Structure 1
Amino acid sequence: MRIQYSLFDTLLEPVFVLTADQKVVYCNETAAIVAGLSIRKITRGMKFNELFQFSEPIEALDNLIGVSDATPYKEVNFKALHAEEGKVQITLQPIFDSMGDKNWIVFVRDVTLEERLQKKYRAELEQKEGVISALEEAKVQLENYSKNLEQMVAERTRELSRLNQTMSALLDSLGQGFFIFNAEGKILDVSSKACEATVECKPDGQLIWDVLKLPENKVEGFKKWMQTLFMEMLPFEDLSCLGPETYPHTKERNIALEYHPLRSNEGTMEGVVVVASDITSLVEAQKQAEREKEHAKLIIHMIKSKREIHRFIQEAQGLLGEVRDEVSKDNGPYDTEELFRSLHTLKGGAALFSIKDVAEACHQAEGLLAELKQSWTHPAFIALRGKCFEVEEFFHKFLDQTKEILGSSNLPEERQIEVAISKLNHIARKVGSLPGGGAVAQELLLELAMEPVTGFIEPYSDVMLRVAEQTDKMVSPLKIHNGNLMVIPEIYSGLFSTFVHAFRNAVDHGIEMPDHRVDIGKPAEGQVDVTFSLNHNSQGSWLLVQIKDDGGGIDPARIREKLAGKGLDVSAETDQQIIQHIFDSQFSTREQVTDISGRGVGMDAIKVAAEELAGRVWVESTVGQGSTLFVEVPYITEFQKDKKLPSAA
């Protein structure tokens, strides 16, 4: 089975991927910490046997070619050449990476903690047995020395109390929440004080599913999992990972749950040890690293696409102004459809340039607006207004953080002057009115006021790649045909900025999963093409944009079902008419809203932008073969004032 190694990035156990000669081609962060080296250094040609020394040979490691199935776990002592030592369980199994190459994955499980727990509690049990033995001896002595009965009982009671206090002190010294539950799900009267912080209670005597705050519909499944654990139908290690992984903390702490077997001297299961660890700092560190990664990506994007960034900023300022004006009204009416489109388009542009704070705030504002449309209340509107203002704050924060790059870097060597587009257009019209000046005026506009369409579209290739990564899909870089066609940005940039929705939808809704594409005879990577062309008729010249994908197409039956669910009678419409409903406001085939899609705003935004230019949109699709979005608008080569645009045919 092919697999992408990034799936192992979030595992807390060490994972290595080796080639046939033991070279490490992948390891996760936990593995790098155990080895005492950076991921980059380990995966630059180091061999696995250069990282660790084991107390005994591991035959499978010495003969990787001969390993065709998962090997049993082998427990050995180890010493990392650059870090710590301890005891681990190791298993190997062959895998195929996303390119189809055969490698071997090494799972490393740290059993040192489990051994410590077993030894610790075995010692405590032995101490208790010693106490019981002492009490039995005391009983005999009490019978023989009845005169000293009260005194001897008091001494033994004090001794037992001291032992219990010692055990409690040991547990309370742990920084982790620690408790044990039995086969009935009841928690024993042994727990650490840290439980009050990690699971927000003293769990002694309670039921495990109540302490973990499991939803009612998941309790039965948990009981079956618990029963399977104690019956030991499968190895504990294979089953424990199926239990709840986190505790839902009310104060937004990140609490990770681990499970370890508590066995008797005979090896039978007596209980399950639950360790609740506060990993909030680790999660925050990971988020911070991700934010820094996104910021670095933004810097690179700005350096490579400075003009596109400036264009986005201009568009965003206009959209933010519209949003601010709308939510600043004390009394309605409110244009919620336009507000949806503005937020959705702003979110798409921010995501395109990795401005994560703005994109996330827009997404949250969309959610508040969707709730507000369902049930309008003044407090809900105030919350929406605050979130929209927060979007603007994040945008200005982005401008402050990047003003040095946007304001002074990459300046051309030649001196530049700025001329208002309106003035340039005025000059071009004057030149055009002169004898033979039409061609000169057109050339003037082409050279100074018009830009190739490819500059507007190229950044969307990154959008598709990011959506593919989020959805575990594969997509080839965007292909642009006739991208040197020149347009006036002030006329078409608003339309082109809405295309972000089309490219996101092409990957999220259209392109199939890689395995399925291969099964039906398609390349694993999906393909999206954009074609620009000019058409001429009696009404003038028209710019036609075609965005085509080779995905699964649009299923008319599914759209009919969604429309029927809204109470609409579309039985008389053809399949071609049915699929045009994707342009309806608030229409989406998604059952749940995600960061990528589900609002039902994107295609509507494209339609509105095209109609504002007196154009039209439509879609053609074949199930199993793909879809093509058509956007046709007048081709305008001069700035027009107070002139009505022709309607699309």
Structure 2
Amino acid sequence: MNETEPEAPSPIRRFVAVVVTVLLLIAIPSVGILYQHQADALAERVLQEGRGVLDAYVAQTQDSIEKGQPRTFQQAINNIARLQSVLETALYSRYRLQTYRSGEQTQGVPFVRREAIPEGFQPYPKDKPLRRDWSQRDLTDAPAGKLHRQVIGERDCGECHYVLDKRLRFDQQGRAQLIESDKASFYQRLQVEEQCVACHTHWQVGEDAGYLGVTIETSRQQAEVSRSIWRVVYVLILIALVVLLATLIIGWMYARLDERNRELATKRGKIASLLDNSDQGFLSFDQGLRVDSEYSQECLDIFGQAPEGQDISGLLFPQDADKARDFGNNIQRILHEADANKRQLFLSLMPKELQIGDKTVRLDYRLLPQQRVMLVLSDVTRQKQLEQQVREEQGRLRLIVAAVREPEDFFELLDDYRRFDADELPPLLGQSQPDADRLAELYRRIHTFKGLFAQQEFIRLPSALHQLEGLIGQWRRGSSIEAGWQQRLRQAMAQSAQALDWDLGLVREALGEEFFQRRGELRLSPQQVRLLEDIAERLLRTDVADIRCGETRRMVAELRRLRHVDLRSLLASYPPLAERLAERLDKMIHPFVIEGEALRVPPGPYQPFIKALVHLFRNALDHGIEDPEERLAAGKDEMGRISCRLTRQGDELLLEVADDGRGIDLQALRQKALELGLFSPQQAAAASEQELLQVVFTDRLSTRSQVSDLSGRGIGLAALKAELDRLGGRVSIQTQPGQGTCFCFYLPWLDSPAA
């Protein structure tokens, strides 16, 4: 059978017990000290009162004693005895025998001769009467003694004769006192003076003449002291009761507080348990950036150590002192900002994601009272890995879909690049110093190939070409070409070849080798197949002359037109490309399609220009279309618009590509033209709008301070203009600041496949 453990005393009981114990420990010594103090005060008061009465007694009886005037003396001591609190007055002879006391007189003894005192006389003990058998012959036989015997008759001598207490000790002033519980006696020793010898011839000056005594009661003083002590005791009891009541109230409040604290601790424990199992790190820090002692378990896993008391900026940026300093300064700025909206704005600009060790951590900030900040840390490493896997899989799928959807473009681009890689790059390696014009041409070609492969959703090759483009761009901008540049170029080319093989491996894995083997296969519609059959039958039934007939020529022309394509289909890849670029740049655009007539053209002449249009669409997204916030602030729809329209105007094709973005900054364009030396200051000031706008097609013109794989090198539109010139076309630009830009390309109408 299990025994139940005794219940632990409640906090309030413990608290009350402690307070009562303390009160007792204080009250008992206090009462003792108070009693002792009052007793000392009583003794002092009794002493002062008794000595005062004794001094008055001595002053009134001194003369009568010296002159031996019994009646006068008796009257004086009776008067003193009538004083309040005086119980008795008395006179003791020089032999310490009581001879006078208030209300009575003992005759004869004070006036006996000194010679009559027997040898060896010892003072009789107090309260012990003189016995009859005691030898007082010389005293009682004297006349005064006989008279005294007659007066007292048969009464015991002890009724009026007492001996001074042997315990009395007289001080140098001849004083002594004996204080008892209910009374106090005070005595004054009287010495024989010159005037006494005249009456008492047997006395000698300086010896004891007698002793005056007065006895006072102390009950009144004791009663006052007792009342005073009790008053204090009552006050102490009252204080104790008040303190005890306050203690009970405080104890009750403490018990309630303790109960609430236990409830709070339980809730905090539950919350802490939830936080520790939430897979998120929770901590807070003050304006000194010191982390508080409360934090969740996940913080230990993220930082690999206990963050308590450490600098939060050092924990977040252990290897970058500059970023840690900037983080701390920004936190100080946020905490000292009075405007709540600005605080939230500043918080939104704080780092949202960091790499801490091998973990990717997402940060969320919360402002707390008293200049504190709560930081929520989420380990998103696995999520990022999954997102990366999803992105890789999506990229792989986009690459495969692009190859299947547009196989002609896919293989044509592949063939063009392989010819470029085999025929145009290797000659550069044979030169001791690369030719500047050659470098410029290669630079434009690589830039175009990078955009085209990105348009075809290649994954690794655009990045590799970006690196190759950067290397050639360094030499082209005038950087000194160091020794071993050929080796660096070979390495960059090898990396591009590896990237291409990797991308093609994905396509081959998904579609098989058969996809690459039937790459040039031409698919015909049923009507076109029927037409070919008719031509073949006619050729078999007729002679050679019939072939030159008009119908035959028409059929041959139709066969040739089988190679023509709708110009819109050549541009069909750009709307989805623009949407993907917008998503990548965190911008928003409305979906659009290629508008206009169904114009069938031979693809060969137009394809280089069509491919170079990738730079125009990239610039429209990167430079033209604004962020949603900027568009809303300008009063625009947060989603931008891009349009592409085809029309035929006589012997020309008109291709219009427009956006409703921020337009072209003509002043910035003018300044850039001056920097590149394209215009003199006078020419720049006098240039027309169209002359300035044509500057956008200049090689190396870019307003971007940073280079990305989208734009910033200033080569894209120059490559587009080069292809336009080869085709024999022209371009005009209309732009309006804040409203957008429209590029109008006028292309020659080429109906012949061989054109």
Total equivalences in the alignment:
454
- State the alpha-carbon separation in 2 of the partners of residues 290 and 593 from structure 1: 23
Letter of the structure 1 residue corresponding to residue 272 of structure 2: R
Structure-1 residue corresponding to 2:668: 558
Higher alpha-carbon deviation: 631-640 or 192-201: 192-201
Could you tell me whether the CA contact under 8 Å between 2:352 and 2:362 is conserved in 1? yes
The residue aligned with 1:405 is 511
Return the offset for 1:577: 0.1
| Equivalent pair of 2:359/2:381 in contact (CA under 8 Å) | yes
- Provide structure 1 residue ranges, at least 5 long, that are not aligned to the other structure: 1-110, 121-173, 418-429, 537-541, 641-649
Q: TM-score, normalised by structure 2?
A: 0.49
Report the secondary structure of 1:627's partner residue: strand
* SS of residue in 2 equivalent to 1:531: strand
3-state secondary structure, aligned to 2:460: helix
The answer for the alignment partner of 1:486 in structure 2 is 601
**Counterpart-to-counterpart distance in 2, 1:466 and 1:296:** 14
CA separation of 1:444 and 1:237: change in aligned 2, threshold 3 A: closer
In 2, distance between residues paired with 1:304 and 1:483?
A: 20
Query: Alpha-carbon deviation of 1:258?
Result: 6.2
Moved more, 512-521 or 553-562: 512-521
Does residue 365 in structure 1 map to residue 464 in structure 2? no
Q: Structure 1 pair 384/276, CA: closer, same or farther in 2 (3 Å)?
A: farther
Q: Which of 384, 388, 394 is matched with 1:283 structurally?
A: 384
Please tell me the residue identity of whatever aligns with 2:511: I
More helix by share: 2
Q: CA deviation at 1:585?
A: 0.7
Change over 3 Å in CA distance of 1:498–1:243 after alignment to 2? closer
Picking from 691, 695, 704, the partner of 1:590 is: 704
> Does residue 184 of the first structure (1) align with residue 288 of the second (2)?
yes
Contact preservation (8 Å) 2:663, 2:741? yes
Match for residue 223 of structure 1 among 325, 329, 348: 329
CA distance in 2, matches of 1:431, 1:604: 52
Distance in 2 (alpha carbons) for counterparts of 1:231 and 1:440:
81
For residues 352-395 of structure 1, give each alpha carbon's deviation from its aligned partner in whole angstroms, at most 9, with x where no partner exists. 22222222333343344444545344577755543333222222
Q: How does 1:124-135 map to 2 (within 5 A)?
A: none
- Candidates 614, 627, 634, aligned match of 2:742: 627
Q: Is the 8 A contact 1:587 1:601 kept in 2?
A: yes
CA distance in 2, matches of 1:554, 1:572: 18
Counterpart residue type for residue 506 of structure 2: Q
Please report how far the alpha carbon of residue 496 of structure 1 lies from its aligned counterpart in structure 2 after TM superposition. 1.5
Q: Which is greater in Rg?
A: 2
Partners of 2:512 and 2:445 lie apart in 1 by 24
Distance 1:303 1:532, change over 3 A: same
Residue 458 of structure 1, CA deviation: 0.8
Quick one: structure 1 residues 618 and 386, their matched pair in 2 at CA, closer, same or farther if it must change by over 3 Å?
Answer: farther
Gaps of 5+ in 2: 1-266, 530-543
Decide whether aligned partners of structure 1 residues 177 and 517 sit closer, same or farther in structure 2, where only a CA change above 3 A counts.
closer
Instruction: Find the partner of 1:505 among 614, 619, 627.
Output: 619
State whether residues 568 and 594 of structure 2, in contact with CA within 8 Å, keep that contact through their aligned partners in structure 1: no
Question: Alignment partner for residue 446 of structure 2, among 328, 343, 348?
Answer: 343
Cα separation, 2, equivalents of 1:378 and 1:574: 46
Please state how far the C-alpha of 1:584 moved relative to its aligned partner: 0.5
Deviation at 1:481, TM superposition (A): 1.6
1:116 match:
272
Matches of 2:721 and 2:487, distance apart in 1:
30
* Distance in 2 (alpha carbons) for counterparts of 1:341 and 1:329: 20
> Which amino acid counterpart does residue 713 of structure 2 have in structure 1?
R
Identity rate, percent: 22
Report how far residue 286 of structure 1 moved. 1.0
Secondary structure in 2 matching 1:498: helix
Distance across 1 between alignment mates of 2:335 and 2:637? 43
Partner of 2:645: 530
Counterpart of 2:415 in structure 1 is 314
* SS of alignment partner, residue 184 of structure 1: coil
Matched-pair contact (CA < 8 Å) for 2:291–2:310: yes
Do residues 601 (structure 1) and 715 (structure 2) align? Answer: yes
Q: Is the 8 A contact 1:515 1:524 kept in 2?
A: no
- Aligned letter for 1:350? F
Q: Residues 47-446 of structure 1 correspond to what in structure 2 (within 5 A)? A: 115-116=271-272, 183-185=287-289, 207-210=311-314, 212=317, 213=319, 216=322, 219=325, 222-226=328-332, 228=334, 243-247=350-354, 254-257=360-363, 279-321=380-422, 324-325=425-426, 328-329=429-430, 331-334=432-435, 335-374=438-477, 375-376=479-480, 377-378=482-483, 382-383=487-488, 385-403=490-508, 405=511, 408=514, 439-440=553-554, 443-444=557-558, 446=560
TM-score (norm 1): 0.57
Counterpart Cα distance in 1 of 2:337 and 2:408? 65
Q: Deviations over 1:75-108 (max 9, x none)?
A: xxxxxxxxxxxxxxxxxxxxxxxxxxxxxxxxxx
- Distance in 1 between residues matched to 2:546 and 2:488, nearest whole Å: 54
Question: Per-residue CA shift, 1:33-90, capped at 9, x if unaligned?
Answer: xxxxxxxxxxxxxxxxxxxxxxxxxxxxxxxxxxxxxxxxxxxxxxxxxxxxxxxxxx
> Who is 2:40 aligned against?
none
Please say if 1:465 is aligned against 2:579. Answer: yes
Distance apart, 1:469 and its partner CA: 2.2
Letter in 2 for 1:222: G
CA distance in 2, matches of 1:218, 1:511: 35
Q: Shift of residue 544 of structure 1?
A: 4.6
Question: What are the equivalent positions in structure 2 for 1:10-21 lying under 5 Å apart?
Answer: none
- Give the residue type in structure 2 aligned to 1:533: R
Distance 1:515 1:281, change over 3 A: closer
In 1: Cα distance, 2:433 partner to 2:512 partner: 38
Cα displacement (A) at 1:351: 2.0
CA distance in 2, matches of 1:366, 1:268: 54
Q: Report how far residue 461 of structure 1 moved.
A: 1.3
Native 8 Å contact 1:478 1:527 kept in 2: no
User: Contact 2:601–2:750 (CA<8 Å) still a contact in 1?
Assistant: no
Deviation at 1:183, TM superposition (A): 3.7
1:565-584 Cα offsets, whole Å, 9 max, x none, are 44552223211100101110
Residue 578 (structure 1) aligned with residue 696 (structure 2): no
Q: Secondary structure at 1:530's aligned position in 2?
A: strand
Structure 1, residues 275-324: CA drift from partner, whole Å, max 9, x if none? 87764443222111111122223333333333332333233333444564
1:257–1:602: structure 2 CA closer, same or farther, 3 Å change rule? same
CA shift, 1:438, in A, is 9.7
Q: Distance in 2 between matches of 1:628 and 1:432?
A: 50
Q: Does residue 474 in structure 1 map to residue 589 in structure 2?
A: yes
Equivalent position SS for 1:596? coil
CA distance in 1, matches of 2:355, 2:546: 70
Please give the alpha-carbon distance, in whole angstroms, between the structure 2 residues aligned to 1:617 and 1:252: 52
* 1:168-209 deviation digits (Å, cap 9, x = unpaired): xxxxxx999999865423579999999999779998987544
SS of residue paired to 1:449 = coil
Matched with 2:149 is none
Q: Which amino acid aligns with 2:665?
A: D
Structure 1 Cα separation of the partners of residues 688 and 346 of structure 2: 52
Give the drift of 1:462: 0.9
